[in-house]
Structure formats: structure tokens, C-alpha cells
Amino acid sequence: MFFNWFQKKKNTKGLIGVDVQADQLAIAHILFATKKEDKPTLKQCVYKELSSTDVKESSETLLKMVQSFPATQFSCNSVIDKNHYELLLIPPPNVEPDELRQSVKWLIKDQLAYHIDDAIIDMFEIPGQQSARAKLIYVVAAQKREIELQAKLLKNSGLDIASIDIYELVQRNIAKLFEQDKDGIVMLRLHEQSSLLTITCNGVLYLTRTIDFGAQQIKAVLPLSFTDSAFSDSASSNTESAVEDSDEEIELFLDDDKEKHPASILNDQAKLILDNVILEIQRSLDYYVSHFNQRQVKKIVFSPMDQEIPGAIEYVNEMLGIEAEFLDFNHYLNVSKPLSREIQVHCFEAIGLALRQDGTKE
């Protein structure tokens, strides 16, 4: 991303993703696919919940977690806390290319809570915008001090930093796992009370929004709610989980014949709540198609949840006429054993960070 001014990768065949949040740490190690038709390989992922926001606890915990990863062989990609950066959509100033960065700084200085001289910024263009409309660019700004603190935490843990990303591009990385990325992907990362919605196509971020709809709303109204044993690891701790492969050939254990639940099993209250997120998706799609001169997307992806939500995906599919699914990394990564729902929920961002490959524009 825009903080790609660290050391170069030691091994370009893979990457370690490190997600540092206030309440948990998560790490994932990915080996990239060598052929276009192959899947990336998830070598290992682990998360650890934190009991406090104490920096010392985070540092000590991360140091212990990193010891089981090949940090001396692979560099890492991390992410800055969502409260410590701004992603702005602005019209680019009409200046010469070598004056663009300084002009953008002047344009956004009043939108930042800190002095513009203390900011690191980067920009990326959005292709395909209608010529008759004002073109827009994305500008990312973060305080230098926050980047330096993040870098110090990672380096003190023995990690070699390749880059620091933003959460919107983490979802872009995951969307590239899908064949439909060439036609456009809507992805929603479901948090408890809200969701991060992104629309990407061909590895490009076009649209991002935070919507007031999350996992808690879905769970609260559905008539059925149960844990799917096909996704569960036995004896998984509620504070720490991990998966690691051996050197043996990786096998997949997937239930491709999983029972489908018709949308008709949903009660009216469930449909009413789901109508809220469907409306937000439709509004986002309308803007994406009209402003960026794009075709309709071919896939809607919801992030993994810790329990099955019968009928929800079928209802979204029925109302929008677009294929939808809850993401199951087991289908899109080579893994040594199935990842539990719990691990997928907690390691979502870490896996997305580890999927970042050089060669993307951002």
C-alpha cells in the first residue's frame, strides 16, 4: 500500500500477514500460487485475544506468536488501526503530476485532526469513470507517529516489514481469490454492529462504505442458529486458535453437498432486517455502475460468521439476483485441515494481508 517504504521481501514466494487490533492479534502465512489456476496455500494462522489495550501486553504476545512463523525467511504486511487513517474520495486538483501530492495535501489539510506536515499520504486512481462527471481519486492519510509505532511493534517482534495496508485493500486482496473478480465483487466484512462494504473489480478498489448493519443484527432475528460441525475444530480455545500444515501434500476436506436452506424459512422480522443490508448493497451497486461505467457485479461475498445463518444467503440472492455466499476460506485456499468458523472470523484480516502480492498498483 502507500506505506510501502520498508525493506524488500526476503522471499517473494509468500508473505506473513499481521493484524494488530485493540482486542486481538492475528497472524497468517501464505504461499502464493505459482500458476494462475492454482490456489494460494495457507501454511499457518493463529490468533490471540488480548485482555487489555496495554502496549506491553501486545508486544509480548506478538513476540511469542511470531516465534512459530518463518519470520527470518518471509517479510510481513500489516495494517494500520482503522481509527488511525482516513480514506478520502476527492476530485484531483488540476496540476502537473509532480505537483499533485503537495496540492492534495493542501486540499485535505482541514479534514485531518492533526497537522498536515505530520501526515503520510498516498493516492490511487479509479479507472473507468464517466468523462461527463467529475473524476475522483482515493487519498489515504495517516499520522507519521502511528506508522512509526506500528513499525516499532513489528520490528521488535522480529518481523521484516514489507508494507502497511488499509482494511479496504485487505478486502480487495481476498476478493481476488474469486474467479468473479474479473466481473466485480461486493464484499462485506461483518463486525458485530457494522460492516465494511467494498466493491472491487480486477484487483481495483472502486467503492467503500461503512454501513450500520452487522453480524449481531443477523443473529438476533433468524429462527435457526446453530454451529456447523463441519467447520469446527475439536477442543478449540476461546482465547487462542491456530492451524499449521506439515510438509506432506495438502488435502482438502470440503462438504460440497452441504444442505441449502430456502429463503422461505426466514420469518418476517429476519427478512425486514436483511432488507436493510440489501438496500445498502443495491444503492452501492447503482452508484458503482453509473459513476464508474461498470457492468453489474457477479458475486456478493459476506465474511465468515461463527455460526450458520440458514436462509440468509438464499434471500439475498433472491432479492438482488446476484450469486451470494458466506466466505469459507477452505474452498479458496489450500489448507492441511479445514479451518473452523472461529479461526476464519478472527483471522480474516490476517489472511487478507498475507494475500497481498506485489504487482498491484496500490
Give the angle 349-188-300 at the CA atoms, nearest 5°.
Answer: 120
pLDDT at 8: 56
* φ, ψ of residue 58 in degrees (nearest 5): -60, -45
- Residue 141's closest CA among 163, 162, 113? 113
Angstrom distance (rounded) from CA 106 to CA 123:
14
Statement: residue 111 has pLDDT above 70: yes
In this predicted model, what pLDDT tens digit does every residue of 281-297 receive, in sequence order? 999 999 999 988 899 99
In this predicted model, what pLDDT tens digit does every residue of 207-220 receive, in sequence order? 999 999 998 888 87
Statement: residue 258 has pLDDT above 80: no
Angstrom distance (rounded) from CA 81 to CA 145:
13
In this predicted model, what pLDDT tens digit does every residue of 233-246 receive, in sequence order? 433 444 455 665 54
List, as own/partner pairs, every contact residues 268-274 make where C-beta atoms lie below 8 angstroms and the sequence separation is at least 24, other chains included: 269/221, 270/221, 270/222, 270/223, 270/311, 270/312, 270/315, 271/315, 272/221, 273/213, 273/217, 273/218, 273/220, 273/221, 274/218, 274/312, 274/315, 274/316, 274/319
Q: Measuring CA to CA, how many Å separate 147 from each of 3, 23, 144, 245?
A: 8, 19, 5, 32
Statement: residue 154 has pLDDT above 60: yes
Q: Which domains does the chain have, with CATH numbers?
A: 179-224+261-330 (3.30.420.40)
Statement: residue 141 has pLDDT above 90: yes
In this predicted model, what pLDDT tens digit does every residue of 30-56 receive, in sequence order? 999 998 889 999 999 999 999 988 889
pLDDT at 307: 86
Q: Which residue has the higher pLDDT, 82 or 224?
A: 82
Sign of the alpha-carbon dihedral angle for 273, 326, 353, 47: positive
Whole-model pTM: value is: 0.88
pLDDT at 54: 83
